[in-house]
Structure 1
Amino acid sequence: MPPPNTPEEGLVLTTTTLALRPLVQEESSSAVVDLRALEYESEVDENLICPICRLPLVSPTITNCDHVFCQKCIVQAHGLNPVCPVDRLPLKLADETRTAPKIVHNQLDNLLVRCPNRPRGCGLVVARSLVENHVTRYCDKTLVPCPHTSCDKTVARTYSEKGCLHYDVKCEYCDHVYEKADLEEHQDNQCTNRKKSCELCKTEYVRHKQDEHMKECPEAETPCKFSSLGCISLVRRKMLDEHARLCEYRVVGPVGEQLAELQAALKVLQEKDQLKERRIKFLENKGFSMTTTSTSEGITDISLPENTPPQDPAPYESRDQYFLSLFETMEAKVERLSSTLNEVEGRHSVMLFNETLPIKDQLTEIRSTLGVLGMHVRWLMNFRLQERGRVGTSSADISGSLAGSQDNNNNPNLPRRLSDNLREHPPRL
């Protein structure tokens, strides 16, 4: 059963969600990799799971009640019911939601995921922040447009340099006709005669991958690991360790391994030295005009003449190669700066979060105090109004009684009071 407020396909959003709707549409249209469909290498922390879709957060958005959702999920859920899906409090999407802190984004970016082209054969595991770059630029199994201009089909990147492969060929194992681009997939998984038993180890393998199997077959003969030192023996792969313990060249084996490591290190140093020499010669080349700087990294402008003299060739294989090396250097520096900025931003986010917590508590206390004060002021105002009403009523009664007494004095028909007689005829002593 789906969780409450699960967004539905084709949902028409209300006017309160119009502020965030363009951003969601832009993300869905520009995204190359669907982050919701990724397979994660390990179990994801529950705190990084969206309460609505129950998947790792994508573009996390936090509410004022400190609940985090996928941006698309909270927009669609708000269209069904304008409340927080967790605590059911009223929620204004435009005013009471914001992007989650940077630390949440960093945790999501560091999650390890499998390449989306895993069904096609790519087994790489990479951080989620790098999966899109891997798929679009480096993965050999990514489908790209066919290099032929008149062909509108796609082909795996690993075959893009072989020209158009969308022509019919016959499978050599089952005589069925398939396109050249789909032949390998057919021979790997669909062909009825794709399996063959190894004559040495009796293990079944795919026919067109015989060379790969022979590199791993335990019964295949292979040279001794000390062959570079002079051993000419050929032994079965499963017996290599036993032969290495008895080989006559095992004594000089560690020395040979150290020598091979030193040769590899020397080769790397030589390549670096050659690169630096080419750059120095390039900077000293008079055929190029450039600004005077103390180091080669400080070059800001390089203008190439239209006709370079043939006697001063560029130290690089081509000018494009040099500019490509400069671009890669700048790109590495930008990446380092970007990572540093991300760390600083994460620290500031944590600091701001820690500083705003006591402020929120103080605001809550002030609001409660204002509520109490307002209640007392309203009570006093009501009491004052009641007192004024009583005073007005009593004054009206007093004036009425005075008027009545004057009327009684002016009316001769009414009986006179004893006090009046005493005033007119005082008693004699």
Structure 2
Amino acid sequence: MPPPNTPEEGLVSTATSLPIRPLIQGAFSLPVVDLKALEYESDVDENLICPICRLPLVSPTITNCDHVFCQTCIVQAHILNPVCPVDRLPLKLATETRTAPKIIHNQLDNLLVRCPNRPRGCNLVVTRALVENHVTRYCEKTSVPCPHPACDKTVARKDSGKGCLHYDVKCEYCDHVYEKADLEEHQDSQCANRKKNCELCAAEFVRHKQDEHLKECLEVEISCKFAPFGCTSRVSRKKLDEHARLCEYRVVGPVGEQLAELRAKFKALQEKDQLKERRIKFLENKGFSMPTTNPSDGITDLSLPENPASPDTAPYESRDQYFLSLFETMEAKVERLSSALSEVEGRHSVMLFNETLPIKDQLTEIRSTLGVLGMHVRWLMNFRLQERGRVGTNSPTMTGALTGSQDTNNGPTVPRRLSDNLREHPPRL
């Protein structure tokens, strides 16, 4: 489980303000954590206090006159009187208000607050930006739905794995009957016989937390800190330091501690070495293996290991190392995909060249055919122009004049046919 102050995807930051219009209409859902009811670890800067509710700003909204308020506070104040609550100038909520600058949101999000479940036993202190994430995801004292499907009650998150606890049990200290889910809270703060005096130190403690008290009781006898080196003495916790100064094994103690420290370091180095060897084996055998595919098959992708803690993939010391291995694997996959895409692109280029080569030949043939057809068309056009020119020269007026002169000189003559002229002077291409 990640730490309680780890941001998660989907987390709604406290800097995100609700729109003005839904607030005016009243159609908005209540947040999981009431930010106005939080307890702050230290005093809050006066500049981050809302002038209306006198609490740290929640969803800060700034007006055109540079006054900052909680969004809900300014909306409620505007309903009563449409003026700025500070300088009393007329204020239009829809057009003259906007969300506060980001620096104000950052300052508010960095304020340290106590967990809202502090009365139930959670003493964690987190920033205000992460308190909702802590309460909704990680706090063991948060009430969650009972795991039993037929039960509609709630239990603490730390007890959610124990099944349904909503059955009656008798308190062993006062004989009252309570539900199992409420028994611990009863024994902590409500039971009349919940406290007891220690038989060794006479200190008062809660009965069902006796084990926790024994870990701190000064009269409990514990082993000497040199017990690993041979000391068999058992003394009370408050006399442990005095016994350590007089213990016969105090001479070999520092040497033994150094030896134990060296052994721990050596063991840690061995584990790191084994881990690196397993990671190298994993990256060589699985992370960088190239799949054998036919050119006709599509590109195949490699999937990441489903169980990172399996014997083949080896457990990692931290999430950073595991994510580093995933990053290296993904980088190798990207390189393989790039080479595969280059190969596919080359194949496609060759295929397109082979397919376009016949098309180019056909286009060349079509161009030559068009050239021949153009030559024939030009020849026919020239022939038609020549024919029209000859017809124009043999008009009726000129024909009559020529006929009259021929009649007077040589007698009547028969006109020549056009086909006769074409035979004598054929046109040339």
TM-score using structure 2 length: 0.61
Q: Deviation string for 1:323-346 (max 9, x for gaps)?
A: 99549989xxxxxxxxxxxxxxxx
Q: Deviation string for 1:60-114 (max 9, x for gaps)?
A: 1112222111111112111111211111122222222222222211111111111
Shift of residue 226 of structure 1?
A: 2.5
CA contact (8 A) 1:166 1:181 kept: yes
Q: Deviation string for 1:272-314 (max 9, x for gaps)?
A: 55554444433334599789xxxxxxxxx742699x9xxx974
CA contact (8 A) 1:165 1:181 kept: yes
Give the 3 Å change call, closer, same or farther, for CA 241–313 of structure 1 in structure 2: closer
What corresponds to 1:212 in structure 2? 212
Shift of residue 224 of structure 1?
A: 1.7
CA contact (8 A) 2:111 2:128 kept: yes
**Cα distance between partner residues in 2 of 1:250 and 1:265:** 23
Q: Deviation string for 1:352-400 (max 9, x for gaps)?
A: xxxxxxxxxxxxxxxxxxxxxxxxxxxxxxxxxxxxxxxxxxxxxxxxx
Q: Deviation string for 1:206-233 (max 9, x for gaps)?
A: 1111111111111111112222333221
User: Which amino acid in 1 is paired with 2:200?
Assistant: L
CA contact (8 A) 1:289 1:304 kept: no
Asked whether 1:166 is paired with 2:166, we answer yes
SS of equivalent to 2:218: coil
What corresponds to 2:189 in structure 1? 189
Give the 3 Å change call, closer, same or farther, for CA 329–77 of structure 1 in structure 2: farther
**Cα distance between partner residues in 2 of 1:203 and 1:305:** 55
What corresponds to 1:147 in structure 2? 147
SS of equivalent to 2:199: coil
What corresponds to 2:226 in structure 1? 226
Specify every segment of 5 or more residues in structure 2 that has no aligned partner in the other structure, as ranges.
Answer: 1-17, 292-300, 328-429
TM-score using structure 1 length: 0.61
Specify every segment of 5 or more residues in structure 1 that has no aligned partner in the other structure, as ranges.
Answer: 1-17, 292-300, 331-429
**Cα distance between partner residues in 2 of 1:248 and 1:25:** 80
**Cα distance between partner residues in 1 of 2:279 and 2:116:** 40
SS of equivalent to 1:129: helix
**Cα distance between partner residues in 2 of 1:50 and 1:327:** 45
Within 5 Å, give how 1:31-50 maps onto structure 2. 31-50=31-50
What corresponds to 1:119 in structure 2? 119
What corresponds to 1:407 in structure 2? none
User: Which amino acid in 2 is paired with 1:315?
Assistant: T
CA contact (8 A) 1:290 1:303 kept: no
Within 5 Å, give how 1:10-409 maps onto structure 2. 20-22=20-22, 29=29, 31-265=31-265, 269=269, 272-286=272-286, 302-303=302-303, 314-316=312-314, 325-326=322-323
Q: Deviation string for 1:155-174 (max 9, x for gaps)?
A: 11111111111111111111
SS of equivalent to 1:232: coil
Task: Give percent identity, aligned residues only.
Answer: 78
**Cα distance between partner residues in 2 of 1:238 and 1:176:** 38
Give the 3 Å change call, closer, same or farther, for CA 79–262 of structure 1 in structure 2: farther
Q: Deviation string for 1:23-51 (max 9, x for gaps)?
A: 68999626221111111111111111111
Across the two proteins, how many residue pairs are aligned to each other? 298
